[in-house]
Amino acid sequence: MNLSEARRRAAERLRASGTEYPEREAEFLLAEAARIDRSFLAAHPFLPLEDSAARRLWEMTERRFGGEPLQYILGSWEFYGRSLDVAPGVLIPRPDTEILVEHALTFLPSSGRFLDWGTGSGCITLALLSERSDLTAVAVDANALAVSLTWRNLKLHGLLSRCFLWHSRTPQDIPAGDGEFDLVVSNPPYIPFPLISGLPREVRKEPLSALDGGEDGLLWYRALFGWAPAKLRKGGRLLFEIGDGEQGEQLVQIAPSSMEFEGIFHDLSRKPRAASWLRV
Ligand code: GLN
């Protein structure tokens, strides 16, 4: 069987499972199974697929057919133009989150220091530290798997020396002095608990602890609004990823008076996706 036929067969199987982008996913799986680039695949569709690669492809296709997220099967995914390891038990980085990186880059002064609360795979921290060699960070997660994955990703990109990793359940115990940060950035769990059972089945394969924002989705924002202002210098910023709908307006209502609302930013599909506050 050649590469093109293998891709078509995998795509057919995936289509039967109701996957939204079967061709594209089949291409990712085939490239991974055959250990080639997707561009090589496009350029040489009639090369034969080795038996061992074919076995890997069918095995991965069946896992995907069973509802496992593509990114967990591949074991790596791209965020802000860089490849990072992803693993079950840790939230998969989303392209939507890249707008936090863009805004954080404009907020952070030269030699700036930031705190990333709920770092997950470490995607935001990794993107910021890679883009700017003057920055330093503290990255925090309550999930030990996330902390170890972030460690791996930072190591992979040679960034460990500029990041302090902290495994913490309670935000208040972060070892950082008052006024230490120019930015606190977070993509906290923000899905209202009652909506979680209605999420797509792939998303429900991701850790609940990274999605569950309590009854109204605002649980972790309340906690962050409680302690983060003290950690920020005056003129520093708080930057959150937010859910769509009313979440931005709700956050404006519950923000403390020490934080001045700056604005809501939209993602590529024009949904409200981030909000920022200035420490006054
Ligand atoms: N953006 C994620 C989703 O919609 C949610 C991540 C989060 O709760 N921070 O699945």
Pocket probe for ligand 1: among 71, 79, 190, the residue whose CB has the most ligand atoms within 8 Å is 190
Looking at the CA of residue 118, tell me the nearest atom of ligand 1. 9
How many other CB atoms sit within 10 Å of the CB of residue 193? Answer: 16
Q: For residue 176, what pLDDT is reported? A: 87
How many other CB atoms sit within 10 Å of the CB of residue 208? Answer: 11
* Whole-number Å distance between alpha carbons of 192 and 176: 30
Looking at the CA of residue 199, tell me the nearest atom of ligand 1. 10
User: Who's near 116: CB < 8 A, 6+ residues apart?
Assistant: 122, 124, 125, 137, 138, 139, 140, 185, 186
Closest alpha carbon to 125 in 91, 162, 70, 83: 162
- Which of helix, strand or coil describes residue 181? strand
Tell me which H or E stretch contains 261.
Answer: strand 259-266
Q: Is ligand 1 within 6 A of the CB of residue 191? A: yes
CB of 164 within 8 A of CB of 174? no
Q: What is the pLDDT of residues 109-154, one digit of tens each?
A: 999 999 999 999 999 999 999 999 999 999 999 999 999 999 999 9
Residue at 173: amino acid letter: D
Closest alpha carbon to 123 in 137, 134, 109, 113: 137
Q: Is ligand 1 within 6 A of the CB of residue 211? A: yes
Q: What is the DSSP string of 2-59?
A: BHHHHHHHHHHHHHHTT-S-HHHHHHHHHHHHHT--HHHHHH-TTSBPPHHHHHHHHH
How remote is the CA of residue 211 from the centroid of ligand 1, in Å?
6
Q: Is ligand 1 within 6 A of the CB of residue 99? A: no
Residue at 64: amino acid letter: R
How remote is the CA of residue 190 from the centroid of ligand 1, in Å?
7
- Beta-sheet pairing, 76-79 with 82-85: antiparallel
Per-residue pLDDT of the chain (280 residues; tens, 9 = 90+): 999 999 999 999 999 988 889 999 999 999 999 999 999 998 999 999 999 999 999 999 999 999 999 999 999 999 999 999 999 999 999 999 999 999 999 999 999 999 999 999 999 999 999 999 999 999 999 999 999 999 999 999 999 999 999 999 777 788 888 999 999 999 999 999 999 999 998 899 999 999 999 999 999 999 999 999 999 999 999 999 999 889 999 999 999 999 999 999 999 889 999 999 999 9
Q: Closest residue (by CA) to atom 2 of ligand 1?
A: 211
Looking at the CA of residue 206, tell me the nearest atom of ligand 1. 10
CB of 78 within 8 A of CB of 32? no
Q: For residue 245, what pLDDT is reported? A: 87
CB of 235 within 8 A of CB of 278? yes
Q: Is ligand 1 within 6 A of the CB of residue 217? A: no
How remote is the CA of residue 191 from the centroid of ligand 1, in Å?
7
Q: For residue 146, what pLDDT is reported? A: 98
User: Who's near 41: CB < 8 A, 6+ residues apart?
Assistant: 3, 7, 27, 30, 31, 34
Q: What is the pLDDT of residues 240-253, one digit of tens each?
A: 999 988 999 999 99
What pTM value is reported for the model? 0.95
Q: Is ligand 1 within 6 A of the CB of residue 189? A: yes
Q: For residue 115, what pLDDT is reported? A: 97
Q: For residue 148, what pLDDT is reported? A: 98
How remote is the CA of residue 36 from the centroid of ligand 1, in Å?
31
Q: For residue 192, what pLDDT is reported? A: 96
Q: What is the pLDDT of residues 217-241, one digit of tens each?
A: 999 999 999 999 999 999 999 999 9
